[in-house]
Amino acid sequence: MRLDQYLATSTELSRKDAKKAITKGRVRVDGTVVQSANMQTSNEAVVELDGSELHLPGEIYLMMNKPDGVISATNDSSQPTAVDLLPSQLASKVHIAGRLDKDTTGLLLLTSDGQWSHQVTSPRRDCPKTYQVLLAEPLSSEAKVKLETGVLLKDEEKLTLPATVVMCSDSKIELTINEGRYHQVKRMLAATGNHVKGLHRLQIGEITLDPALEPGQYRELTEEELRSIAR
């Protein structure tokens, strides 16, 4: 699609005003100012106007309160998946941005926009994730410091990045991590000699699980929520 058409489709600008914005240097494509309105943009291109990322209408952005017992996959004929909980016209279009274990509940993001989901999951984007963690044993102050400074996970060589720990009670914490290693939260707690009994994701970046959503329910993200990821 031509760049001026992309702008006119994704904003309130007329085609004429879109062209003006481009020639004035207000538009970037993949981080570079582009001043030719007839440039062809690919589906994966990140297009910004005055520093705000644009999205073509028609893309789907959802949050779900993932229930226990469903897997984070698009389809699996043997097990129920989070995507199975959506109506078929949505299910066929979306993928999951940041998986959860089968027994983890809470905030799951689903989208049709591959560029956007890359921003959620890319290690370079530093998108923090907050989990409510129910522990088998009370968290000692030494273990808290270890989580906050970095722990060595089994079979890995690099310490985890510093995490934030908020004590809710002796054996219930809110843990914010800035990476997404395999089974990271369970392995971090295992590395301190503890065991995770329950795990629930509360937040990704600035997107907080809507408390009105019952397990298995979903809603569209607001414009502000979806733009918060791209900032």
Token representation of residue 58: 């028609």
Residue 185 as a binder of ligand URA (CB under 6 A): the answer is yes
Choice from 164, 184, 203, 228 touching ligand URA (CB under 6 A): 184
Residue 125 as a binder of ligand URA (CB under 6 A): the answer is no
Residue 204 as a binder of ligand URA (CB under 6 A): the answer is no
76 catalytic? Reply is: no
Residue 219 as a binder of ligand URA (CB under 6 A): the answer is no
Q: How many whole angstroms separate alpha carbon 81 and alpha carbon 138?
A: 33
Residue 71 as a binder of ligand URA (CB under 6 A): the answer is no
Which positions ≥6 away from 10 have C-beta within 8 Å?
A: 47, 54, 55, 56, 57
Choice from 186, 192, 221, 229 touching ligand URA (CB under 6 A): 186
Task: Determine phi and psi for 62, rounding to 5 degrees.
Answer: -130, 150
The DSSP code sequence of 140-186 is: PHHHHHHHHH--PPTT-SSPPPP-EEEEEETTEEEEEES---TTHHH
Our CB check for ligand URA shows the closer of 196 and 221 to be 196
CB atoms within 10 A of CB 67: 16
Residues facing 28 on adjacent strands = 33, 48
Residue 179 as a binder of ligand URA (CB under 6 A): the answer is no
Residue 195 as a binder of ligand URA (CB under 6 A): the answer is no
Site string for ligand URA, 78-117 (x = CB under 6 A): ----------------------xx--x-------------
Residues tagged active-site: 101
Residues that bind ligand URA (CB under 6 A): 100-101, 104, 183-186, 199
